[in-house]
């Protein structure tokens, strides 16, 4: 089956499901204690003895699986989940994935090898490829676990991300590649976590991103001259909100995002819902957890207006403000979903640790 191909990344199933349930539950806790315990026990089995989380028990640790596992722990919102994380070993794992100027590597003989050892980048797993997915996953984990201030972990990342911005304005996975919505989100979200958004041309990034909404289909695509895909309603929509925050509330027009929010809702609700449940990439495609989760997250942002004042100016956030804000753009109450933070899919229900830059609802000591 399609999910069989993802067998080596099982924490992602938990991430997509828990966050989807959270968005649909509108603030209610739908998982009982037994279900949460089963998830915690499984994630505990996935934690690698040398740090990080594996895609399934007894496999090597992987940055993406680590990100999915940590975000799932956040979504569970229970102390029993928080205590399973070994923070000291996690820091050592993240540092092993990091390329710094003093990183010892073999002298590259090929251009492809040179591109995979750029200072400021992260490997997606030890001896693996490196791109902005790894950068974002590692920084997000570091921020949640209050490890992000480690100097060697931060070194050179902003410059690496800057080198990935293309002439189009978007951000590519590595330097000299093609701009892509997912990598643009990962790159800019990483700069937000580092507080280094001045490293790139934000105006060009915003122009490139907003021009990816298709006139006829109404949803977003991920690259120039590509087809619509419902997951990009989150990648591009969340990027729009992150830019608004970076510009201190000046990345919107009278509180509205710089794309057609009603059109995105229409594409999601009319074209991407399956009669069997779940959401799809585009008509005639099959449902899957990935598109269900990210489609709903994109719908959440499309139903909302700028929250710069609530999230940043006052350094506080309350759920009731988010729900009232969502109602401003939702077509009707039955189509509303919970508000998600643009830096992740974690549903904001409590004050955050570092204002709104950290989407974690806890701080492990």
- Cα distances from 32 to residues 38, 53, 349, in angstroms, run 10, 24, 18
Q: 267, 281, 317, 341: which one is catalytic?
A: 281
Catalytic residue at 32?
no
Alpha-carbon dihedral 242, 248, 250, 253, rounded to 10 degrees? 60
Q: 48, 99, 291, 339: which one is catalytic?
A: 291
Q: Which residues pair with 253 in a beta bridge?
A: 256
Catalytic residue at 291?
yes
Catalytic residue at 223?
yes
What kind and span of H or E run contains 262?
A: helix 261-266
Q: In this structure, what token pair is assigned to residue 322?
A: 């988010």
Catalytic residue at 99?
no
The Cα 334–Cα 59 span in angstroms is: 42
Catalytic residue at 229?
yes
The Cα 25–Cα 168 span in angstroms is: 39
Q: 48, 98, 223, 339: which one is catalytic?
A: 223
Q: 37, 154, 226, 354: which one is catalytic?
A: 226
Q: 232, 259, 267, 294: which one is catalytic?
A: 232
Q: 229, 312, 317, 336: which one is catalytic?
A: 229
Catalytic residue at 96?
no
- Cα distances from 248 to residues 172, 245, 312, 319, in angstroms, run 25, 5, 8, 21
Q: 22, 131, 143, 288: which one is catalytic?
A: 288
Q: 137, 221, 231, 272: which one is catalytic?
A: 231
The Cα 166–Cα 283 span in angstroms is: 31
Alpha helices in 145-231 (DSSP H): 151-154, 157-164, 181-194, 202-210
Q: 98, 125, 133, 180: which one is catalytic?
A: 180
Q: Which residues are catalytic?
A: 180, 223, 226, 229, 231-232, 281, 288, 291
């Amino acid at each position: 089956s399609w999910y069989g191909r993802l067998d080596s990344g099982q924490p992602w199933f938990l991430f997509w499901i828990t966050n989807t349930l959270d968005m649909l539950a509108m603030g209610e806790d739908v998982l009982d204690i037994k279900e949460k315990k089963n998830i915690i026990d499984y994630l505990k089995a996935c934690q690698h003895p040398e740090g990080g989380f594996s895609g399934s028990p007894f496999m090597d640790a992987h940055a993406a699986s680590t990100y999915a596992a940590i975000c799932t722990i956040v979504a569970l919102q229970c102390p029993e989940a928080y205590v399973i994380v070994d923070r000291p070993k996690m820091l050592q794992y993240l540092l092993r994935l990091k390329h710094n100027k003093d990183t010892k590597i073999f002298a590259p003989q090929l251009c492809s090898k040179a591109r995979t050892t750029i200072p400021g980048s992260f490997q997606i797993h030890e001896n693996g490829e490196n791109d902005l997915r790894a950068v974002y996953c590692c920084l997000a984990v570091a921020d949640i676990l209050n490890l992000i201030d480690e100097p060697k972990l931060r070194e050179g990342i902003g410059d690496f991300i800057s080198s990935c911005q293309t002439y189009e304005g978007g951000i590519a996975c590595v330097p000299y590649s093609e701009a892509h919505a997912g990598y643009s989100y990962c790159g800019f979200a990483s700069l937000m976590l580092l507080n280094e958004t001045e490293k790139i041309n934000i105006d060009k990034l915003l122009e490139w991103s907003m021009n990816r909404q298709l006139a006829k289909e109404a949803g977003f695509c991920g690259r120039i001259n590509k087809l619509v895909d419902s997951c990009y309603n989150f990648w591009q929509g969340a990027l729009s909100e992150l830019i608004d925050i970076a510009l201190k509330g000046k990345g919107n027009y009278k509180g509205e995002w710089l794309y057609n929010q009603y059109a995105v809702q229409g594409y999601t609700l009319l074209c991407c819902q399956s009669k069997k449940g779940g959401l799809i990439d585009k008509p005639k495609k099959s449902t899957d957890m990935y598109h269900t989760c990210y489609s709903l997250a994109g719908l959440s942002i499309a139903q909302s207006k700028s929250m710069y004042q609530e999230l940043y100016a006052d350094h506080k956030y309350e759920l009731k403000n988010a729900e009232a804000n969502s109602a401003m753009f939702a077509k009707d109450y039955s189509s509303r979903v919970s508000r998600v933070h643009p830096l992740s899919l974690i549903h904001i229900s409590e004050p955050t640790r570092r204002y709104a830059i950290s989407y974690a609802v806890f701080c492990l000591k």
